[in-house]
Amino acid sequence: MTRQPAVAGRAEQLLSSSVISTAPVAGGDVSSAVKLRLSSGRTAFLKSLTQAPPQFFEREAAGLRWLAEVDDGVATPDVLAVDSDCLILGWVETTRPGQDAASAFGRALARTHLAGAPEWGADADGYIGRLPLANQPLPTWAEFYVERRITPYLRVARDKGLVAAADADLIERAAARVGEVVPDEPAARLHGDLWNGNVLWGQEDRVVVIDPAAYGGHREVDLAMLTLFGLPQLPHVMAAYDEVAPLGDDWQERLGIHQLFPLLVHACLFGGGYGARAAKIAARYL
């Protein structure tokens, strides 16, 4: 049994429980992560970041709570404490993905989306990974997608030489067609960063989502991200989703236009071939 005094002490300042032991958790791209065993018998997860950007953890906690408001919607970990430098959540014990869990997750995700949002955007800006995420509302999904989701990251990628000028032009032109390509629907309650790494397959067929970048957007955005980066048991997830919230015709053919956003985010964060991949997808819509 080990105990990191500084980490344990910080957790104890925020929780009404002593920390018996701590253990580092691997896998975080942005924050340091630690598993905590508390004197109450509970296990918790602490993520921290020295000199975190303003409201970094507070916005994540708000997103988790917003998603958790939906009865029978997607499960989220309990928010035990949050401050400017850290977030403490209930621990999620994971297991292998199964078909029953996937179907339950698909239905829950559909209910979360159907719960809706008051506008295209959110009442506060947030973060996706360590990048700022602008959420100021706009009147239509097409305007919001171009101005808040494509333009900021395409500009950064282009300025840093992470996407070629010709590829940037393809992406811009394709994004401008989102209003023609994507059906008009009410704003959905989105997780916003729903890739495989943010989906935890918990015990007793309970799937838990973490690290949201939540806002009101088009529901196909979450589905496009699940598809882009792969999710175990995805066909079962989508079949169950469609039972609760039937998808429009040709929804799979539209996923690519929604995938431009996460690919540009990845280009800004990691470089590599993500910009070229976005351009290749964009060309399908021209």
Q: pTM for the full model? A: 0.95
> Active-site residue numbers?
193
**pLDDT bracket for residue 247 (50, 70, 90):** very high
Residue 75 CA to residue 121 CA, distance in Å, equals 22
Directed axis angle between helix 274-282 and helix 165-175, to 10°?
A: 50
Per-residue model confidence as pLDDT tens digits over 185-217: 999 999 999 999 999 999 999 999 999 999 999
**pLDDT bracket for residue 272 (50, 70, 90):** confident
Mean pLDDT of 140-155: 98
Mean pLDDT of 106-124: 98
Per-residue model confidence as pLDDT tens digits over 61-83: 999 999 999 999 999 999 999 99
